[in-house]
Structure 1
Amino acid sequence: MGSNFKDKGILCLLVILGCILEISQSQEVIQLNLCLNTRLVIPPCTGGKKINIILESYGRNPEGVERCQPHPTIDCTIRGDVFINLCQGKTECSPRFRPVPYYPIKASKCPQIETDDVEILTNYLHLEYQCLDRIRSRISLNQPCELNLDRCKDNNAHCDPDFLQCRCVKGYFAKIINGNPVCVPHIPLNGLCAVPDICNSTNAECRGGRCRCKPDFYEKYGSCGEFLLC
C-alpha cells in the first residue's frame, strides 16, 4: 500500500497540532505552517490533477479510491462541502461504519457511533481534491454559506454567523440593482454619489451628484418622509 502510494506520487497532506501540515510526495517530507485565519491554505490546484489529502473536520463522501494513513490522534471527521483554494474536498469513513447526516463535532474527543450522528474513522479516510470553476463556486447574497470559507460572490459580503447566509458587511447594505441584490455603501442624504439607486434612504435618489429626497418627499432626521395632505 505504501509503495503504491509513493509510486503514484500523489500528495498526502496531514493536519497535525499547531496548524502544521505535513506534505509527503515520493521520498520528500516537508512541514509548513499553512493555516490562515482558521482556513487551511493548500497550494493551487493543477488542472485535471487529483490530490489526496488528510484533513480533520472537513469532508464529504468521495469519488477517489486512494487511502492515506491518518495521524493516530485524528480519527473523527464531519461531513460537508469544502471549498479551499478553489478545490472541493470529499471524505469517506471506514467501510465498516455507516455514513450519517452532517452534525458539527463540538466535543474534543471522538463521539460514540451508537449515539452521535457523525462519521467515525478508524485507520484511514478518503479525500479527493479537484479544481472548480471560480464563478460556480461563489455564493450570491442571502444564500446559505459556511463560516470561514469566504465563498460569497459579492466582494463586500461575508458569511453572517447569525444567519449562515451571505450578507453585506458593516457599512454596506443590500440593494436590488438590475434585478440582482448588490452590497452598496451606506450613502446618507446629501452624501456624494455617482450612480442611481445607491442612496441609503428608501425615498432618496442620486441627483446632481448627491443623495437627495425624491420629489414629494422631504428630509427629516436623516431620512426622507412623505408630504401628507391635511
Structure 2
Amino acid sequence: MGGQPIEQRREGRAAAIWTIPNIISMIRLAGVPLFLWLVIVPEADVLALVVLMVSGFSDWLDGYLARRLDQMSDLGRILDPVADRLYILAAVIGLLWRDIIPWWVAIILPARDAFLWCLVPFLRTRGYSALPVHYLGKAATAALLYAFPLLFLGDGEGTVATLALVFGWAFAVWGIGLYWWAGLLYAWQVRTLMADRSRHAPRVAPDGKP
C-alpha cells in the first residue's frame, strides 16, 4: 500500500505534457521551419547557424532540466529524438537545395530513419515504445550536427570556407557511417527482442535518443 502513491506519482509525471523540458522541446521544434526558411529563401546562413546552435543547446538543456526537476515524461522522450531528426532532415533539404551536397547524401540519411520507423510496429508487439540509448546514435547525431554548419560555411570563397568544407565533409562521412551503424545495431536489437518472447519492455533512459 505504501508504494502505491509513489507509483501513481511516477505515472503522473510520465504522462505530464506542460513541463518546462517539454515546452523547451516544443520551442525547439518550432525552430525547424524557421531554420529551413533562413537557409532556402534569404540564404541567411549566419542566422540559420544561430538557430542550429540554439537548438543544440536546448537539446542539452531540456534533458538536464528533466533530470534536475524530475520532470521526465513520455512526451519528452518522443519530442527530443523527433526534433533531432527534423533538424537533420531540414539541414539535408537545405544543403541539397543549395547544391552543397550530392543527391545520394540527401537520400541515405532519411532512408535510415525510414528504416527504423518500419521497425516500430515490431517493437510494439513486444510492448516496447523505444529502445534504450546507444552511444553510437548520440555520436552520429553529434557528428552530423557539427557537419551541417561547417558545410554551410564552406559554401563560399577563401581559406575559412575551404577549411570549413574539408572539416564539414570529414564530420559528415563519419556521421553518416555512425548513423547507419547505429541503425543496424537497433535493428539487431529488435531482432533479438522478437526472438525472445519472454522479455519485458526495458526502462528507456529519460533523454533517450536512438
Instruction: State TM-score, norm by structure 1.
Output: 0.23
Instruction: State TM-score, norm by structure 2.
Output: 0.24
Greater gyration radius? 1
Instruction: Identify, as 1 or 2, the structure richer in strand.
Output: 1
RCO greater where, 1 or 2, for CA within 8 Å and sep 6 or more?
2
